[in-house]
Amino acid sequence: MQKNRNWLFRFFRDKNLKYYNSRIKTPPYLELDEFFPDYRILEENWEVIKLEVERIVKSGKTLPKFHEVDDGQSYISDNDGVSWSLITLLLYNSWHKENIKMCSKTTAILKGLRGVKSAYFSILSPGKIIPPHVGPYKGIIRYQLALSIPKEGECKLIVDGKDYFWKEGKSVLFDDTYLHEVQNNTDEMRIALLLDIKRKIPGFLRYYDLFIFKLIQLILVLNNTFTKSKIK
């Protein structure tokens, strides 16, 4: 997974995940009511959120592809010549000042939710396949709200070998440090709101997790991520 990452990143990622996994045990898919009860607010407002992102997608503006924002993700984003675009709103506690101007209603909703550390709109072009990979950081859990799902064909998330088929206006929560992939085997676009929710960290591990979170924030700054994430 992520073979284009350098050996030092892969070494640190693997050791870090091993340390977290020795202390935190959760299943691939997580109960929304237990881990992120605020999902109800998003489901109640999903049509409002959908209208905002569809307006941007249809505007003709250039949306950055995932590997253009983070070239270390080329293995999963630039793997098949089919676009996977992101609209970044929030990234590890920092709001994207330019992008959120186009999503004022969504932003207002998100600012009222607890534990949300990152927020993106994920746009998969027809035929896009995101190959199996693992998330590098267990301090967050991944939430998805389906906004526009292909009406015909197979479009699904697979986590730890278990299929999940999105339904518009409905939520799913999973641990992305399990092997997971996405398949859009259709002729239509798939749009979802993706959130990173801060995991509750037990005991002394909280201090280690705080260090890792700060380290990721620093890496994002050094990588000039916010400039690369701007919609043009």
Residue ranges of the domains in the chain? 26-228
* 120, 87 Cβ separation under 8 angstroms: yes
* 136, 215 Cβ separation under 8 angstroms: no
3-state secondary structure at position 39: helix
Please give the pLDDT value at position 146: 98
Residue 167, burial from CB neighbour count under 10 angstroms (0-12, 13-18, 19+): exposed
Over residues 107-164, the pLDDT tens digits come to: 999 999 999 999 999 999 999 999 999 998 999 999 999 999 999 999 999 999 999 9
Over residues 53-80, the pLDDT tens digits come to: 999 999 988 898 888 888 778 888 878 8
Q: Is the pLDDT of residue 202 over 70?
A: yes
Predicted model pTM: 0.93
Pairing verdict, β 180-185 and 190-198:
unpaired
3-state secondary structure at position 194: strand
pLDDT band of 2, cuts 50, 70, 90: very low
* 75, 131 Cβ separation under 8 angstroms: yes
> For residue 195, what are its two tokens?
């959130």
- Name the more confident of 11 and 80: 80
* Fold (CATH) for 26-228: Jelly Rolls (2.60.120)
- Name the more confident of 105 and 219: 105
